[in-house]
Structures are given as C-alpha cells and as structure tokens.
Amino acid sequence: MIDTKIQAHNRLNSQLASVNYGEACVTEKQKWPHLYMLLKLAETGAYNRTAKISTEYLAKKLGISQQTASRYLIELERRGWIGRTITPDGSLIKIESIGAGELQKLYSNLKVLMEKTYPPSVTLEGTVFTGFGEGAYYISKSDYKKQIVEKLGFEPYPGTLNIKLSNDYDLKTRIDIEAYPAIEITGFQNESRSFGFVKCYPAIIGGKVKGALAIAIRSHYDTSVLELISPLCLRKHLELKDGHKVKVEICTIL
C-alpha cells in the first residue's frame, strides 16, 4: 500500500512539473513536493480555516516518513505558505494568502491545459509606479536583448514600465496569463552570475504602443505587478507619471 502511495506521489509530482514550460520546470522543480503537501493540507480543510493536523497523519496520507512530513511543514512555514502553531495534540495549520496564491496558479495552469480554451487577448488596468530600477540593467544584457529582437521583433528600450494591479478581476486574470503559451527568452550565465528564464506576451500599452509583458521566473515582484517592455520610453511617449492609470491589452494567441 505504501509503495502504491509513493508511486502515486511521484506520478503527481511529474504531472505537476509538466504544467510549466521549458526552463521554468527545472528552476521550480524544488517547489513540487511543497505544492503536493499544500494540496493535501487543503484537502484536510486548512484552505479556508485552521485545521488540527498531526505529522503522523500527514505522513500516512502522503506515503512518506513522519520526519519528511515534518520537514516539509517547516519549509512551507519558512516560505510563508502556511501559518502553524504546534500543540501537544498536533499542529494548528492554515494556508496563508501566499500559499493560496500558489494553489490558484496551479489551478489556472491545469484549467487552461485541460480545457484548452482562452480568449485571444485580455485587457488589464493598473497604476504606474516607480520600480527598483532593475529593468534597465537586465534589458541591457546583450543575451536578453538579442533574443527580444529575434523573437519579439523590436529592440527594447533599456527599462521597464511597472504597473500595479489592484482589482480582483485584473489580479485573477494576471495569474491566468501564466498558463497561456508564451514567447520564451532563455536564461544564460556569465562569469559572475546566472540570469533566469523570461516569458513574454505581446501587448499593446495605452492603446497605442506595441510592446510585451515580461514575466521573469526570478523577480522581486509578485503577480500584482506588470513589467512592460517596448521599443519606446513608455513614460515619455504616453506622458505617464506615477499614479496614472494605464490599460494593457495582452495577446494570448501567438
């Protein structure tokens, strides 16, 4: 019975890993055991409320050792995916908003892959804000710039326009976008560090300028932020300042 559970566990991990694309699968490989644990915690009721769960029960449910189950819980807590209070009778566990977001991403990816239906484009609206200034640094890298020219058809302005989403529709749709096919900008490594994989989606910014939404696998921003690239300085061309609203039409059929 335990062997069967372990095999099922491994099969699900393999299936989950296939949801992402290309290099992202390798980059995020370590997340799959945590996602599987999160799914099982949700099944026990920890998604919408605090549930009392023992590591012994979790170990049996997952077909793993109690020590491994305990380690996974510690790692989930460190990631901020769950909140946990240890009691003599077991742990009081609730999935936090970050963990719920990870489950939502997984759900969106699976839904798109299974149903294979999505609109040709989606429009999001957000507020312009000043970012960390890293866009210019990354876009100026020749390995990125060359791929953007080849795959997106324009030489990017050295910087990104940052848009903060706020309403529920835009936030949910932004998560859904990651499940759609993307133009992939592969990562690379130089003598000092490695640079990660980037997914790009053609876009029309402010109803006027062609560009792209760039989603870096490694990013300081969460899914509430759009990082937009374009051949033009978008702030100057669209006369945008911090606090201005702007609409972005993102193409989902390549």
Contact partners, residue 109, CB within 8 Å, separation at least 6: 19, 20, 178, 179
Selected residue with higher pLDDT from 34 and 1: 34
Question: pTM above the 0.85 mark?
Answer: no
Domain ranges of the chain: 2-102, 118-251
**Is 139 in a helix, a strand, or coil?**
helix
Please report how many Cα atoms fall inside a 13 Å half-sphere around the Cα of residue 211, on the Cβ side. 27
Selected residue with higher pLDDT from 59 and 254: 59
* 2-102 matches 118-251 in fold: no
Contact partners, residue 62, CB within 8 Å, separation at least 6: 5, 9, 36, 37, 40, 69
**In the chain, % of residues over pLDDT 90:** 50
Grade residue 32 by pLDDT with cuts at 50, 70 and 90: confident
Q: Determine the residue type at 51.
A: A
| Top-tier CATH class for 2-102 | mainly alpha
Give the pLDDT score at 192: 77
C-alpha gyration radius of the chain: 20
What distance in Å separates the CA atoms of residue 140 and residue 138, rounded to the nearest whole number? 5
Q: Is 210 exposed, middle or buried (0-12, 13-18, 19+ CB in 10 A)?
A: middle
Give the pLDDT score at 183: 93
Grade residue 97 by pLDDT with cuts at 50, 70 and 90: very high
pLDDT digits (tens, 9 = 90+) for 109-139: 787 767 666 678 999 999 999 987 776 777 8
118-251 is classed CATH 2.40.30.30: yes
pLDDT digits (tens, 9 = 90+) for 201-239: 999 999 999 999 999 877 778 899 999 999 999 999 999
